[in-house]
Amino acid sequence: MPEPHAKGAGQVEAITHVGMDAHAATIHVAMLRPGQSQPLTWTVANTQARVRALAKRMRREATGSIRACYEAGPTGYQLLRWLEEEGVRCEVVAPSLIPVKPGDRIKTDRRDARKLAGLLQAGMLTPVRPPTPAEEGARDLTRRLQQAKSDRQALRNQLSKHLLLRGVRWLKKSWTKEHRAWIWKLEGDPIENVLLNDSRFALLQVEDRIQELEKHVKALSESEPYASRVGYLRCLKGVDVLTAMVLLTELHGIERFTSPRQLMAYLGLVPSERSSGAQERRGGITRAGNSRVRSLLIESAWHARHGLRPSKTLRARRRGQPAWVLEIAEKAERRLSQRHHHLSQKGKLSAKITVAVARESVGFIWDILTHQARGLA
């Protein structure tokens, strides 16, 4: 039976639940009216004109108000925006939190839409907070920069392994000015020169991309609504402009996390668990949620191994920031350094220590980004 929704004294609002399985070309729709066990299903093209017609059909055939949903995925949030323009309430739900029957081995688009409609009616889906178009653009910019840096690393590895296969080795620190000059002087037979030039020019192109994207990310970080919060986050050791911008753009609407533990779980930094009865079994971190933020936090957590030694650069970043931000940043520096030292003394593996430090750093990041929203600043 559908869940009751209070409308007024002694009244229950009727709601029609709609599940949609959205793809690049088509949308499979399942409409579940109040009191019905079998949904009405059909398929439409994924274009704005057809979505407008879909909204009209929903209003025509629904009983009471409409609540629609679809899974977050490669189609993004455009379907949600088109439906909301037509006055249809729509939600995007987290795919990783959709209940799955262990014995169910049949998966089709139509069945997925029916399943979403039923789970939405039962209140068993977790909606995600959709970004605004401006937030989505900023997020895609930082993602493009991260991808360009990954491309550069892949090209560097490709060139290094190519040279190693030829018995050509560089025994000093890699990718310094001296190393790059050495690479550009390398020569071989005609085919070898073609391969070397291909790698060298590919590296030049990706480095130009990185330089251009970094310029745009820096310009965005100096404008509101990012400038002040980027300044706050840069007071933390191991957090500079790119890390701060990734945190802000990937965690848009961070106020929805009511505690640091919720944010830690969202980022997949909490231990997995499979306990039953008196037996407790805990494993590695869940690795759920946003992998980009999790990777950057683990990278920045390596700075805790240096202890309480704020560098000249970090002191310059902290200059002129509010007292409450400096208090949180200094508390984080002490706590994370002590945590790293304590786990090292216990003989823990460095990788596990870094993950533990990254998990604790989330609490300080949450404190900074929600401080004013909680009325503490």
For the stretch 243-264, pLDDT in tens is 999 999 999 889 889 999 999 9
Q: What is the mean pLDDT of the chain?
A: 92
Write down the pLDDT at residue 97. Answer: 87
Q: How confident is the model at residue 277 (pLDDT cuts 50, 70, 90)?
A: confident
Write down the pLDDT at residue 7. Answer: 54
6-122 has CATH 3.30.420.40 classification: yes
Measured CA to CA, the distance from residue 57 to residue 44 in angstroms comes to 11
For the stretch 133-155, pLDDT in tens is 999 999 999 999 999 999 999 99
Write down the pLDDT at residue 2. Answer: 46
Beta pairing, strands 65-71 & 15-22:
parallel
Residue of 272, 255, 270, 278 whose CA lies nearest to 358? 270
- How is the chain split into domains, by residue range? 6-122, 133-221, 227-370
Residue 6 has pLDDT above 90, yes or no: no
CB burial of 285-319 (b: ≥16 within 10 Å; e: otherwise) equals bbebbbebbbebbbebbebbeeeeeeeeebeebbe
Measured CA to CA, the distance from residue 92 to residue 76 in angstroms comes to 9
- Is the N-terminal amide bond of 4 cis, ω within 30° of 0? no
Write down the pLDDT at residue 1. Answer: 41
Measured CA to CA, the distance from residue 184 to residue 34 in angstroms comes to 71
Pair 127, 69: CB distance under 8 Å: yes
- The amino acid sitting at 140 is D
For the stretch 308-351, pLDDT in tens is 877 899 999 999 999 999 999 999 999 999 999 999 999 999 99
* Torsion sign (Cα): 211, 217, 222, 227: negative
Q: How confident is the model at residue 11 (pLDDT cuts 50, 70, 90)?
A: low
